[in-house]
Each structure stands twice: as C-alpha cells, then as structure tokens.
Amino acid sequence: MADRVALVPALSARRVRIPTTSFPVEQFTLANGLRVVLAPDRSAPVVAVAVIYDVGIRSEPEGRTGFAHLFEHLMFQGSENLEKLAHFRYVQGSGGTFNGSTHLDYTDYYQFLPSNALERALFLEADRMRRPKITEENLRNQIDVVSEEIRVNVLNRPYGGFPWLKLPPVMFDTFPNAHDGYGSFVDLNAATVADAEDFFTTYYAASNATLALAGDFTVEQATELVQRHFADVPARPRPVRPSFAEPDLTAERRDSYVDERAPLPAFASAWRVPDPITDFDAYLPYVVLAEVLTDGDSSRLVERLVLKDRAVTGIGGYLGFMGEPFEVRDPTALLLSAHLPPGGAIDDVLRTVDEELDRLATDGLAAGELDRTKARIATQLLRDLDPVLGRALRMGTIAQQRGDAALTNELPRLLGEVTEESIVSAAAALRPARRATVEVVPGGAA
C-alpha cells in the first residue's frame, strides 16, 4: 500500500500532454454544392448520418421569429416520395434512432442506425432535401406543436428560457442576436405556406448543407451511395448570411424579471469573447478560463461562492448561449449562471466574481491548476467524439462553419497548447463595464 501511495505525487507532477486524435476524415463537394464528410470506423456495425443546414435562430427574418425551429419540425412531416411519419417508421424499423435540433447558427438532422441501413438513411435525408411536404395541414399542426413547446418549456417551467432566451436581449441590440429564438405566438400564427416554401427554397439548398457520415463503411462504398442519392438534388444558390455584427459593450447592462414559478433567485452574466471562427487562437483561452472558474469543487468560483461563502447554491460557466463552444459564430460570449439561496444578494456575488477575476489576472494560476483543467476538457472532448453520432455531428458542423472537418482532430491538442499567460489576459478582459446581467426574481419576492 505504501508503494502505491508514493506514486501519487509523481503522477500528479507530470506535465499533462493532450494528444491529437486520429479519426480518419475524407471530404468532397458534390456539383450541387453539398459538402460531404466521411469518417469511417469499422470497430462496430453502426453508422451515424447527419445533415447540418447553415440556418439557425440568428438567420430568421424579422416578423418570422421561431421559424428556424418551426421548420425543423416541418422537415419530419413527409417528403417528396414519403408520407407523413414514414421517416420515423423506416428509421425505427431498421433499429435506429433519429432527431433534429435548432441552434443559433445551424439546424441539424441525424440518424443512428445499424450499418446495413446506411443507404436507407441516405435516401430519407436526400428525399426531404429535395422537397418536404409543406401543406396547410402540416404547417398548422406544427405551429400548434411549437406553441405548446413554448408553453411547456418556457412559460410554465421554473427558469424557463433562462438564460439562453433572457440574456441575449440584455446584451445585444440587433434583431439577429437579441430576438426570441422560440418565436412569438403572433409571428408563428401569421406564418403561411408561402412563407415556409420561401424559407425552404432559400435556406435548405444543398449548397447550404453539410452531410456527415461516421461509422461502419468504406470510403468507396459511402461515396457511391452519397452520389447515388444526393447528386441529383437540384442545385440552388447558397443564401447570403445576414450580418450578426455589433459593437462590444462599453457600459454594464443589467435587467431583471419576475418568474412566478422560480423558487430561488438566480442570475446570469456574460462577456463578449473573440470571434470563434476568425480569431480562434484568442478565443480558446476563454474556453479554458470558463472551466478554471467553475468546473468542479476545486474551481475558483465553486470553491469560493459555493463551498466557502455559501453565497450561491451552484454556479456554472460555459461558452455560447446554448453551451456550444465549437459550433457557434461571432458574436458569442462567456457566460456565468448561478442560483442563490433565499435572500441571496446578487450584487455581493458579482463583486466576488470580480475579485476572483482580479486575483486570477494578478496572481496567475496555482501549481497544477491549468493541467488539471486541460485534462478535464480533453476528457470531455474525447468522450463526445467517441460515439460515431457525436463524431458525425461535430465534424459536420465544423466543416460547415470552418471549412475543414479535420480540425476536429486538432481540438484537444489546440486546447492543450493554451498558455497560462493567455488565460490571465482573458480573465483581465472580463471587466464589469463589458458585462451584461439578467436577474431572475422569484415570484412574490419583487
């Protein structure tokens, strides 16, 4: 036993080395503009098929709030050659699962199936890429579904929409960045079949999509199947992405709202960070900083605010309003969100946050702190990429936003190369004058 214990200091003192992963990646583009990513993995007889369209909440036109999410639902209501619910039946009948999700900057659709069902999944995705069934009946039905989702997930749930819906309008001024991504009932109910057709024609072009496959196939087999099912999807121009640009804050912004269902006070604060696409080297230190501040009991803010001061019941930090550090465009932010005990003072917590950021900016990191944090981040990255579905989704999104899915293999190494000096500089940049904060006031406490 003594020999085993003696090994612990030696192991913890070693410099953590974050490796580069080596998942195989093949990429090509069809004549109609569809970008294709292939990541073969013969270790298990399963495949993942993902289609990522370059349209999300921020691309919605004014007067059409919630349309990106509404359209995600419409894409499951039948397609050119298939009736309503056929997509569900064919995937589930093959022993597979499926879903779709709407994000700030993209919408994805994905299947996870036995590898002998690969061609079936490709046919299904190609068929609805050609033309989904957009009818008055389907549109009205899905408007009702989305409206009910808003009621369940936002209006009738404690902390509904907090902070991803509540904080952006405090931080931003432009419509793309500040509007409600779930949509207003007025805008949803005003939608017409013609509006839906126009949205599909504009944003669901093959040239605005990335198809990503991961799992049990050969490159030759997958390439032939992709050509067979997607090459004749009609070509349409890629839409011009609207500008999301707006200046950084120069003075602190605060807002609050009463949540009748919330049992405890809460707040979320955010600071703008460098452009995650064009300034990736400057962006990565903030990814690590968020973990230094809030990941685990030994992190700066958990140790101080939760364990020592007991000023909050829990606190989290992450990049991006939807928690997607590597699948988001500029502008984005580092967020902190916390729940407080009854009677907790948000101003006191914010002062403590500022003190801890100042201490980090002045004194730097403790011995071993950076390596521990990097090891946790790398472990999470590798865990996300281990299943073929996670690999297909990340590679597809990175290919779409950054032009090269192979960057997926470099992420652990790039994070491992983040220096203490860059993290200290990032902490020093999180000043109160650049901060936006939204406060949740429990019902009856206002």
Per cent of the chain over pLDDT 70 is 96
Average pLDDT, the chain: 94
Instruction: Note whether 26-230 and 253-442 share their fold.
Output: yes
According to the model, what pLDDT value does residue 311 have?
Answer: 97
Residues 6+ apart with CB under 8 A from 185: 147, 150
For residue 398 the two structure tokens come to 């990175």
d(CA 150, CA 173): 23
The yes-or-no verdict on residue 6 having pLDDT over 50 is: no
According to the model, what pLDDT value does residue 325 have?
Answer: 95
- Domain range summary for the chain, segments of one domain joined by +: 26-230, 253-442
According to the model, what pLDDT value does residue 161 have?
Answer: 96
Would you say 204 and 67 are in contact if contact means Cβ atoms under 8 Å apart? no
Does the pTM exceed 0.75?
yes
Quick: pLDDT tens for 12-71.
334 557 778 899 999 999 999 999 999 999 999 999 999 999 999 999 999 999 999 999
For residue 407 the two structure tokens come to 């960057």
The yes-or-no verdict on residue 11 having pLDDT over 80 is: no
Residue 208 DSSP label: G
Quick: pLDDT tens for 290-343.
999 999 898 999 999 999 999 999 999 999 999 999 999 999 999 999 999 999
d(CA 356, CA 5): 33
Render the burial of 218-237: b for 16+ CB within 10 Å, e for the rest: eeeebbebbeebbeebeebe
Q: Could you name the CATH architecture of 253-442? A: 2-Layer Sandwich (3.30)
The yes-or-no verdict on residue 209 having pLDDT over 80 is: yes
d(CA 397, CA 326): 9
d(CA 425, CA 192): 50
Say which CATH topology domain 26-230 has: Cytochrome Bc1 Complex; Chain A, domain 1 (3.30.830)
